[in-house]
Amino acid sequence: MARNERSPLLLTVRVAPARQRYPHNTLRRFCTIALSASLVAIFILFLLPLAFFPSDISPYLPWEFPYPHRDWPRSYALPYDELQDILMSTPNEEQVKEWSEYYTSGPHLAGKNFSQALWTKDRWQEFGITDTSIVSYDVYVNYPIGHRLALLEKKGEKKEEPTKDNWVVKFEAGLEENVHKEDGTSGLEDRIPTFHGYSASGNATAPFVYANYGTHQDFEDLLEADISVKGKIVLVKYGYIFRGLKVKRAQDLGAVGVVIYSDPGDDGDETEEKGVDTYPNGPAREPSSVQRGSVQFLSIAPGDPTTPGYPSKPGVPRQDTQHSIPSIPSIPISYLDALPLLRALNGYGPKASSIGKSWEGGGLGYKGVEYNIGPSPDGLLLNLVNEQEYVTTPMWNVIGIINGSLSDEVVLIGNHRDAWIAGGAADPNSGSATFIEVIRSFGKALEKGWRPLRTIVFASWDGEEYGLIGSTEWVEEFLPWLSGSAVAYLNVDVAVSGPHFKSAASPVLNRALYEITSLVASPNQTIAGQTVRDTWSGHIQTMGSGSDYTAFQDFAGIPCVDMGFSVGPESAVYHYHSNYDSFDWMDKFGDPGWRYHVTVAKLWSLLAAKLVESPLIQFNVTDYAVGLGRYLRSLENEASQSLEGIADENNGGELRDLFDTTFAHLKRSIKKLRKAAIELDTYATELEERLGEDIPWWEWWKKVKLFYEVKKVNNKYKYFERQFLYPQGLDGRSWFKHVVFAPGLWTGYSGATFPGLVESIGERNWTNAKRWSRIIDNRVKLATELFG
């Protein structure tokens, strides 16, 4: 059939084989699979991990490089063990001896040591701390003009006012330390007179009494014995409490003056009475030695007394000083000058030993002293003259900075530079000389290309001796920055005065101290290879006051350490704040060979490095919580004794209520804090283990997440101690903000725990005790919430 347009298309039409659309089909399949796999990998490696990050993820994206430096979590450019080797090998005896000889070669009283500040700045810059400057404050202080102490004897029997005609001088105190050719600085023309910082000018002539150590309890004992100090001059021994609080209590009770001397009965085994030669021939106390020092009311507020709570810069308002420094004159004397006064009391009033056990002792019995209390007989008076010039003058802190990769985490290291004397070989310049070696050690690391993870601030303070002035004013000025950035402050005041290692610290730093002291060889080994930790009891004191950590710990809530080698009963007598705290004494008796100085330099550097370089801040908050429990148990025992004393009084029931409610609440809160602290420390330990693992580059998100977790834990550690600050401060001394630690109200040096509560119970003010228990409870809960 012929085909036309109507023919159906039913026939098979032969065509050529189908041509492939793509000539490389295998390649196409490979590309499709690879692209799909890449999208899945991107999702898994880059998008899915973002679910674990905070809402603002931009800093954590891989191209943003969120880490502090390229080598994180390892040290930058220099392995940590190599950094430790540098810090251990750099300090040496010859260098530290050279620095000590410079610092102790002439007077460097606070506000009069600008050349030393410049020298310190120059040395730091020479050793690599290029960002070093001098920060000054205008401070209200006194300088000595004149003084006198004379025992006056009455002529005749008439009762009349003392005059040159009817009273004669029976004894005139020298008020001067002897010059010895064996002690090069004891005879300097410009040596500093014996005086008290912040003592009042005055001229008092009055009977006198002996009041043991002049503690609050000693004065209570006198009142109970019906011996009044009103209108009298009080003679007391140095020791047990801060000297300014001896003067304060005497002033409160109406005394007109205070004389303080150093009794050799407190000098341990090395005394003249026991046949030991006195300095410079032997290690016993030089009889004319005098302890200078401040009589500021240190437990009320440190720093410039005219600017409490704010820095003493030019033009700032100045406050009245009546609540922070004495209004009656006081002077320090030697036991050589005290002997005639003490002998004059023989047979008058009760013997000290009859008052109580704490009054027993005294090392001048072999010199004819019977330690009677007095008052002095009618025919004897004591004339005390103290003339001081009060001025507002600059003081100079030297501040050096090594900027770290983290600017919001800062470790501070400090020592004060000023001294009451030309020497100060122990206080403070054993610390100052050691500090130069610390600086030199970190400078060596900088030369190797090292850069710290955290920022380091070095501080050489002025004015510590008068009342912790340089450090206090600096903390008050930079408080906002410190509150947001400071991790810890490491203080060394007296690095070496004897052979026994001692320390005080916030409990969060206890374990770090134990670890570091286990790394450094002890300079007084009894068995070869012993470390400092091996020869140390391991006891860490609570923080009190008396050195530059006070403003950091008690005002700013920054964990602190203070450490050094101190005297023991068998040690050469340390002539504290005397001309004989000299380079020659240190070289002959304090640290012959200068090994203890070098040991402290190593400990200080290594502790700083541990806190600076470890990705996780090396705190242990469990120790802090355990400490709180221990402090509370101790307080319970004290309160229990108070309860026994007033069991028959009406308010005995109130104290029982305090036991039932206050202590129960605090125990529960501290228990919860301890549980949260254990969890945080355990988590930090796990993080530390993960930091040691190698993370391959394609699991970048694990490293970023780890960094974020570390940062979060570090913030909790950093801000932990700040939770215990109470903005209104302690009752009657509002400068002190810490509810756990403060100097004892009537001790000054030694630390008190839960001071607000302790003082309320001591005063039997149960209403205020309950108030303080609520305040403390709230602070403990804030710390617990921080860990949530």
Annotated active-site residue in 272, 286, 464, 476: 464
CA dist 192 and 195 (Å) reads: 9
Q: Rounded to 5 degrees, what angle do the CA atoms 594, 595, 599 make?
A: 125
Crossing angle for the helix pair 595-613 and 80-89, to the nearest 10 degrees:
160
Omega cis (within 30) before 17: no
- Residue pointed to by tokens 């964990």: 559
Contact predicate 484/437, CB 8 Å: no
Q: Which helix (H) or strand (E) holds 393?
A: strand 380-402
Which residues are CB-contacts of 559 (< 8 A; sequence separation ≥ 6)? Answer: 487, 488, 489, 505, 506, 508, 509, 553, 619, 721
For the sheet with 257-261, list strands across it.
208-210, 233-237, 257-261, 330-333
What are the helix (H) ranges across 90-175?
Answer: 93-103, 114-126
Omega cis (within 30) before 329: no
CA dist 557 and 720 (Å) reads: 9
Among the listed residues 428, 395, 394, 393, the one whose alpha carbon sits nearest the alpha carbon of residue 414: 428
Distance, first Cα to last Cα, the chain: 96
DSSP string, 595-652: HHHHHHHHHHHHHHHHHHH-SS----HHHHHHHHHHHHHHHHHHHHHHHHHTTTSTTH
Contact predicate 286/264, CB 8 Å: no
82 an active-site residue?
no
Q: Which helix (H) or strand (E) holds 484?
A: helix 479-485
3-state secondary structure 687-734: HHHHHCCCCCHHHHHHHHHHHHHHHHHHHHHHHHHHHHECCCCECCEC
Tokens read off for 79: 């392995």
DSSP string, 182-215: TSTTTT-TTPPPS-EETPPPEEEEE-EEE-TT--
Among the listed residues 664, 695, 658, 690, the one whose alpha carbon sits nearest the alpha carbon of residue 771: 658
Q: Rounded to 5 degrees, what angle do the CA atoms 178, 181, 184 make?
A: 90
Which of the residues are catalytic?
464
